[in-house]
């Protein structure tokens, strides 16, 4: 056993992973079943919020950024194979999340370099500028609940005509607010904490490339 965790945060991870998987099932196998993509819209806001929590709780934000970026490189081949694009045509979600960490750090330091992650996200990042700004909005929500809600809603309205389905990402907001408003803490005394196996921390990273590789094989041998 290593470290501690709160049950609410763990629940957010599992909901994010489950809805992401549903989204990928829709995108890869059943693109005409829009309901699967709608369910999948819940996942990215949850991952964005988890990144904001990660920056807040990590002991070393540089290592956190590097870890996310490394999994981006690891995941790129299975991601490209699964969605059927060229290796550099569309960069996977880990690149968005890693540069979202940089965006939050710049916001915290009130640095003018906050524009850099936004510009880099234009290099075919999954969710592009919207993704970076949503991560920043989740950081704001951690600091000020009302301002954060306004930022998330306005951002989704801003991108409504470009990505109409993204409006359904607001379905994740009640889940996030339920956690954000709770009394769950990171102290050992809190009753919602249990011992945290070290392997589980990396499971949520490894699941992404592994399930995409599996989906690619299923598509290759069962959907042709």
Question: Using CA atoms, how far apart are residues 91 and 40, in angstroms rounded to an integer?
Answer: 18
Produce one character per residue of 141-163: b if its CB has 16 or more CB atoms within 10 Å, e if not: bbeeeeebbebbeebbeebeeee
Q: Which residues are within 8 A (CB) of 2 and not within 5 positions of it... i.e. 6 or more apart? A: 196, 197, 198, 201
**What's the whole-number mean pLDDT along residues 192-207?**
72
DSSP classification of residue 5: E
Confidence of residue 202 (pLDDT cuts 50, 70, 90): confident
CA 198 to chain centre: 21
Highest mean pLDDT (candidates 2-6, 91-95, 185-189): 91-95
pLDDT tens per residue, range 96-114: 999 999 999 999 999 999 9
Q: Where does the pLDDT of residue 198 fall: very low under 50, low under 70, confident under 90, or very high at 90 and above? A: low
Q: How far apart are CA 131 and CA 31, in angstroms?
A: 22
Compute the mean pLDDT over every residue in the chain, rounded to the nearest whole number. Answer: 91
Provide the pLDDT for residue 186: 47
pLDDT band at 161 (very low <50, low <70, confident <90, very high): confident
**pLDDT of 26 above 70:** yes
Q: How far is residue 108 CA from its own chain's centroid?
A: 20
Q: What pLDDT digit, counting tens, does each position of 53-83 carry?
A: 999 999 999 999 999 999 999 999 999 999 9
**Picking from 34-38, 137-141, 194-198, which range would have the lowest pLDDT averaged per residue?**
194-198
pTM for the model stands at 0.91
């Amino acid at each position: 056993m290593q470290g501690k965790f709160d049950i609410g945060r763990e629940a957010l991870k599992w909901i994010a992973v489950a809805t992401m998987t549903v989204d990928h099932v829709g995108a890869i196998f059943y693109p005409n079943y829009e309901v699967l993509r709608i369910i999948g819209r819940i996942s990215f806001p949850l991952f964005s919020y988890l990144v904001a929590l990660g920056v807040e709780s990590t002991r070393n934000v540089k290592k956190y950024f590097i870890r996310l970026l490394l999994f981006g490189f690891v995941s790129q081949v299975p991601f490209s194979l699964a969605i059927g694009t060229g290796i550099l045509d569309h960069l996977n979600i880990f690149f968005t999340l890693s540069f979202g960490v940089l965006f939050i750090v710049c916001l915290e330091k009130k640095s003018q370099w906050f524009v850099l992650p936004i510009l880099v996200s234009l290099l075919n990042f999954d969710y592009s500028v919207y993704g970076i700004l949503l991560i920043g909005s989740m950081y704001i929500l951690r600091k000020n609940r009302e301002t954060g809600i306004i930022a998330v809603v306005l951002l989704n309205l801003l991108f409504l005509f470009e990505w109409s389905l993204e409006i359904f990402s607001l379905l994740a907001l009640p889940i996030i607010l339920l956690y954000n408003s709770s009394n769950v803490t990171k102290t050992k005394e809190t009753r919602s904490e249990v011992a945290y196996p070290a392997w589980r921390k990396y499971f949520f990273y490894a699941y992404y490339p592994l399930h995409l590789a599996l989906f690619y094989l299923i598509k290759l041998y069962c959907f042709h």
